[in-house]
Amino acid sequence: MSFTEIKNERFGEKYYTLRHPSGLTIMVCPKEGFESTYAVIGTRFGSVNSEFVHNGVKVKVPDGTAHYLEHKLFESEEGDAFALYAKTGASANAYTAFDVTCYLFLCTDQFDESLRILFDLIQSPYFTDETVAKEQGIIGQEIKMYEDNPEWRVTMNLLQAMYQNHPINIDIAGSVESIAEITPEILFECYHSYYNLNNMVLCVAGDVDPDTVLRIADEKLKINEPVQVESVFPDEPYEVKQTLVEQCLPVAVPQFSLGFKENAPKNYASTKQLLCTNIILEAFAGTGSALYRKLLDLDLINSSFGTEYMEGNGYRAVIFEGETRAPQEVAAIIKEEVRRLHQTGIAPTDFDNAKAVAYGKIAYGFDSTYSIASEMLNAAFTGRGVYEAAELIESITLDDVNQRLKEQLDPDNCSLSVINSIS
């Protein structure tokens, strides 16, 4: 058993990958001379995966189960994994997103021992009635905290306005009521369905030898037989559910999030589509764009203004967000600019500048262990190649970008979420 080397001649980069006998996909990018090493292991199980078929049996779990499971995996009969990481000096964390759950650490030394802890963590589920009940109070407090968080509420309110049926419109942590339904049996069901090593990927970037990673994997990983698991999603209409949603919270300046809903098949965007989107957003709303200057000159935005592309199984959306004294005016100006670009297309000069920025961001990412490992993980889960964007970007044309703009920015199919100041 040996690694396969994947090279990118353009940037002089390479990584190594193999499918371990345990079932785990391992990807390692050695960066000689780097001070830190970043490791992340992820599973294709997030908040949207609340309904699935496991070995022919349909299962529906309470909202927030994936996030709950993430919390509980840090506990074992031997103690808390954070305490073990403290002894190695590694900075450890985990997160649950809409479609993945990931466990990670960043270290400058004692990599071997930190990786052993990570492998033990994801292979040692320990759920009892007592420990699960104890966690309900902790996560319940976290849920209440996010209910009062303006940045989170403006995003979740937007998703609830945009999506009629897809579980992307449900809070990642669930609700106090939904997590009260979670039991050890439910957590074990999800664990055995999605935390099978055949469904997981380990990505490591830093001053590390791939053979070291393989040696520790051979030492710690148990062989997993593949399982049959398939997530189930409802059909989602193209049209948004509602065009405007508002909430009042104690903010100094109102916040807005304007989302353009895209027709989304049950897969991820291609690398070409993603590159076109990145170029569009830079040309259309980057800090050098005419739109950004106009909004800034009118004192309608500040440095918090930005864009995001959200995608997953059955959902895709372009989002504009930030602080503003006049959310509906900003939204109207953005939609007016979208309509204009549908007629004229992006100007060639703006396209060239935006393409150069996109290229620079790709190159810059190879200097960050976090960016490298995250890109490898993203590639493994989406089916896009790690170096595919670096190879394709030069071939992207202005026609490609203008066609993509019409596909994903529909001014008649968008929602505006606003967090207003409490009077």
If pLDDT is split at 50, 70 and 90, which confidence band does 134 have?
confident
Spatial separation of the C-alpha atoms in residues 306 and 168, rounded to whole Å:
21
If pLDDT is split at 50, 70 and 90, which confidence band does 215 have?
very high
Is pLDDT above 80 for 77?
no
Active site residue 130: no
**284 three-class SS:** helix
Q: pTM of the full predicted structure?
A: 0.94
Please say whether the beta carbons of 414 and 243 come within 8 A: yes
Would you state the structure tokens that stand for residue 22, as one six-digit string?
A: 């345990």
Write down the pLDDT at residue 39: 98
Closest to 39 in 3D by CA, of 96, 97, 107: 107
- What domains appear along the chain, each with residue ranges and CATH number? 4-231 (3.30.830.10), 244-421 (3.30.830.10)
User: Could you report the per-residue pLDDT of 82-128, keeping only the tens digit for each?
Assistant: 899 999 999 999 999 999 999 999 999 999 999 999 999 999 999 99
What is the arithmetic mean of pLDDT over 393-419? 96
**168 three-class SS:** helix
DSSP codes joined into one string, 190-255: HHHHH-SGGGEEEEEEES--HHHHHHHHHHHPPP-----EEE------SS-S-SEEEEEES-SS-E
Mean pLDDT, the chain, rounded, equals 95
Q: Out of 9, 13, 35, 70, which one is annotated catalytic? A: 70
Question: How much is the CA Rg of the chain, to the nearest whole Å?
Answer: 22
Is pLDDT above 90 for 259?
yes
State the DSSP code for 262. Answer: -
Would you state the structure tokens that stand for residue 130, as one six-digit string?
A: 């007592």
Write down the pLDDT at residue 416: 98
